[in-house]
Structure formats: structure tokens, C-alpha cells
């Protein structure tokens, strides 16, 4: 059964004539006749009395409201798809890591609202892994996250590298590590740490680095807000490894200090615990990406939002992966 057959059936029922129905549908009368024959074969009953005027049979009368409802739903579906292609969607949902939500994203949101004032933006701060999972589940349209190739390497995904960001050490202003201009890894591993909760890319990144060093990460608590990290760290010995963007304005807080990490010494790089293939000698960085699905990039508002993010966030040379 095809939608054209149902449309032909409704046209005949409306006009009472195969010829008038053909003109209404923009096809030949023989085409209309073939469509109705195929439809009657499919339902197993004659739908019209063939006489001077085509009238519905008992089966046709039973079938008529169902056919009308199906065709109406088909028209509604086509209209909704057309509106989607034209950018007439009610909302756009974004999931982003906390530092991006706090600092880099607000100007983009403002520009987008000026371009699409009728679209409601819904922005949620989530850990990277969680954000990528809700994107893959279709619960959000765009994710701005720390890259996780286990979750972004699939044919339907589109991933744009936005920037690579160094990781630094947040500590109390009076912490012993504050004496260093660059904190040595050999000193850092001795202190207890506050880390992001499970599902955050930063926790995975820090744990992987300690594993490569053959050192134990002394986790004493898990947090998920930047204010939480600052509040805990300023109390004493606990430190935290955080991205540079999360440490904005730390210099204006006399109770806190932030220091970059030193490169690993040659003894560790050559010990077998570290590997240059992992980029350890370059220090610890995270890669922030814009992720969506390729089908969503065909929708004008989503495409515009992604372009605004790329323009606002990216370094001069934009790298595309998994495109």
C-alpha cells in the first residue's frame, strides 16, 4: 500500500469521478484506475461501485476515515520536515563541559539568539563522557567536550577540534608546591588530590597520566564544580589538576595559586613508564572538540550554531577529524 493510492482513493471519494480525481491528482485516469485496483487488492474488498458516479462501497465507507487520517498524518509529517529544513525548530539543546559553559560559550549563545530569536536554547553543563552519551542518544544536538575517541569515532559523528588546552595545578597560596614556577611531577604525585567525578574527561586524563608514570593517584574526593575545587583547595594540602580555562581569575584571589606543570625528566621518559608516543614530553593537555551528528549539520540553526562556536573558539588553523 502506497500513499499515492490512498490519495487517489480520497480524491475519488471527494469528486465521485475517476476522471476528476485524475485531474485533481495531476495524473492520467488510467494511473488512478491502476492505483485503486492495487489498493483494492491490498485490502481484499472493492472500495467503489463502478457506475455513472463512483460511490463508496460498504468497505470503502469503513476504510475512508482511516485513509483520511493516514494522509493527514503524512501531510503533517512532510510539513514538519520542511519546517525543520527551513530552521523552524522550537529548541536547540547543547551539552558542554563546565569551563566552556562558564567562560567561552555565553558570547556564542548571545549571537545565536540574535540570529534565531524564536529558537529556545537549552544548555546543560555535563562531564565530557556523559555529554557525548546523551548526544549519541539524541537528547542533545551539540556537545562541546573533551575529546574521547571511544565515543566519537563512528560514521554518524562529526567532530571538530576546537583547541588544545594545558593542564595546571591549583593549590593554596601557601602550599609547598607554590614555590615552583613549574611543578615537577616527582613532587606533585606526593600530594592528595581532588578530582572530577566519574564520567568527566579530566578524571580519565589525570588517571591515565599517573598510570603511565607508574604512580598512584591519591584521590581524596570527587567534585564537579569549579567553585567546589577552589573552596577545597584553599583549605590546605589538597591540590587539583585543572584546565587553564578553569583557572581564570585565580591570580586575583590571594588564597589560591596556579602553576603550570614541568616537563617530565629524561629519567622518567626513558624508564619505560612514559612513552613519547603519548606526547608526555610535551606536558599534559586536553583536547576540546565540538561534536554533533552529520544529519544534524544539515539543519540550518544547528549548522549556524556550530559555525559560531568554531569561529569563536578555534585557533587560526581548524583541524577536522572523523569528517
Query: Whole-angstrom Cα distance, residue 100 to residue 96?
Result: 6
Same domain, 28 and 76: yes
The answer to whether residues 176 and 236 touch, using CB atoms and an 8 Å cutoff, is no
Last residue of a domain, one of 85, 100, 130: 85
**For the chain, what is the domain count?**
2
Residue 165, Cα to own-chain centre: how many angstroms? Answer: 20
pLDDT of 276 higher than 50: no
Taking residues 295-309, what's their average pLDDT?
92
Q: Give the rounded distance of the alpha carbon of 217 from its chain centre.
A: 31
Which of 56, 85, 114 terminates a domain? The answer is 85
Q: Let me know the angle formed at the C-alpha of 302 by 296 and 305, rounded to the nearest 5 degrees.
A: 145
Asked if the structure places residue 102 within a domain, the reply is yes
pLDDT in tens, 188-234: 999 999 999 887 888 888 998 898 888 999 999 999 888 899 999 99
Mean pLDDT value of segment 16-41: 90
Pairing mode of beta strands 120-125, 285-293: unpaired
Q: Is residue 150 part of a domain?
A: yes
DSSP annotation string for 240-304 = EEEEGGGGTTGGG-TTEEEEEBPPPPHHHHTSSSS-GGGTGGG--EEEEEEEEETTGGGSHHHHH
- CA 262, distance to chain mean position in Å, is 34
Which of 85, 107, 132 terminates a domain? The answer is 85
Does residue 98 belong to any structural domain of this protein? yes
Report the CATH number at residue 71: 1.10.10.10
Residue 146 structural domain:
91-156+299-321
Q: Are residues 43 and 109 in the same domain?
A: no
Same domain, 129 and 56: no
The verdict on residue 36 lying in a domain is yes
The model carries a pTM of 0.70
**Tens digit of pLDDT for each residue in 163-172?**
999 999 999 9
- Asked if residue 197 belongs to a domain, the reply is no
38-75 tens-digit pLDDT: 999 998 989 988 887 889 999 989 999 999 999 999 98
Assign residue 131 the CATH number of its domain. 3.40.190.10
Q: Is the pLDDT of residue 315 over 60?
A: no
Is 267 inside any structural domain?
Answer: no
Give domain status of residue 7, yes or no: yes
Classify residue 266: in a domain, yes or no: no
pLDDT of residue 278: 42
Amino acid at each position: 500500500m502506497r500513499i499515492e493510492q490512498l490519495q487517489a482513493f480520497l480524491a475519488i471519494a471527494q469528486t465521485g469521478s475517476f476522471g476528476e480525481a485524475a485531474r485533481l491528482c495531476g495524473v492520467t485516469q488510467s494511473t488512478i484506475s491502476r492505483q485503486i485496483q492495487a489498493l483494492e487488492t491490498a485490502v481484499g474488498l472493492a472500495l467503489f461501485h463502478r457506475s455513472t458516479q463512483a460511490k463508496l462501497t460498504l468497505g470503502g465507507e469503513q476504510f475512508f476515515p482511516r485513509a483520511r487520517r493516514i494522509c493527514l498524518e503524512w501531510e503533517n509529517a512532510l510539513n514538519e520536515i520542511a519546517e525543520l529544513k527551513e530552521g523552524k525548530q522550537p529548541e536547540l539543546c547543547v551539552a558542554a563541559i563546565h569551563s566552556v559553559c562558564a567562560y567561552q560559550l555565553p558570547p556564542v549563545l548571545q549571537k545565536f539568539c540574535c540570529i534565531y530569536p524564536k529558537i529556545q536554547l537549552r544548555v546543560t553543563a555535563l562531564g565530557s563522557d556523559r555529554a557525548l552519551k546523551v548526544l549519541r542518544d539524541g537528547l542533545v544536538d551539540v556537545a562541546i567536550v573533551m575529546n574521547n575517541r571511544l565515543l566519537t569515532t563512528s560514521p554518524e559523528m562529526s567532530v571538530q577540534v576546537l583547541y588544545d588546552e594545558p593542564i595546571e595545578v591549583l593549590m593554596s597560596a601557601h602550599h609547598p608546591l607554590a614555590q615552583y614556577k613549574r611543578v615537577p611531577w616527582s613532587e606533585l604525585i606526593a600530594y592528595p588530590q581532588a578530582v572530577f567525578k566519574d564520567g568527566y574527561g579530566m578524571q580519565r586524563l589525570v588517571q591515565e597520566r599517573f598510570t603511565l608514570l607508574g604512580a598512584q593517584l591519591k584521590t581524596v574526593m570527587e567534585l564537579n564544580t569549579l567553585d567546589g575545587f577552589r573552596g577545597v583547595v584553599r583549605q590546605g594540602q589538597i591540590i587539583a589538576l585543572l584546565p587553564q580555562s578553569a583557572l581564570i581569575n585565580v591570580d586575583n584571589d590571594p588564597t589560591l595559586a596556579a602553576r603550570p606543570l614541568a616537563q617530565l625528566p629524561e629519567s622518567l621518559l626513558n624508564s619505560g613508564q612514559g612513552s613519547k608516543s603519548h606526547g608526555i614530553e610535551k606536558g599534559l593537555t586536553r583536547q576540546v572538540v565540538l561534536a554533533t551528528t552529520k544529519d544534524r549539520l544539515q539543519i540550518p540553526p544547528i549548522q549556524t550554531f556550530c559555525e559560531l562556536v568554531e569561529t569563536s573558539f578555534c585557533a587560526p588553523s581548524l583541524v577536522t577529524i572523523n569528517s
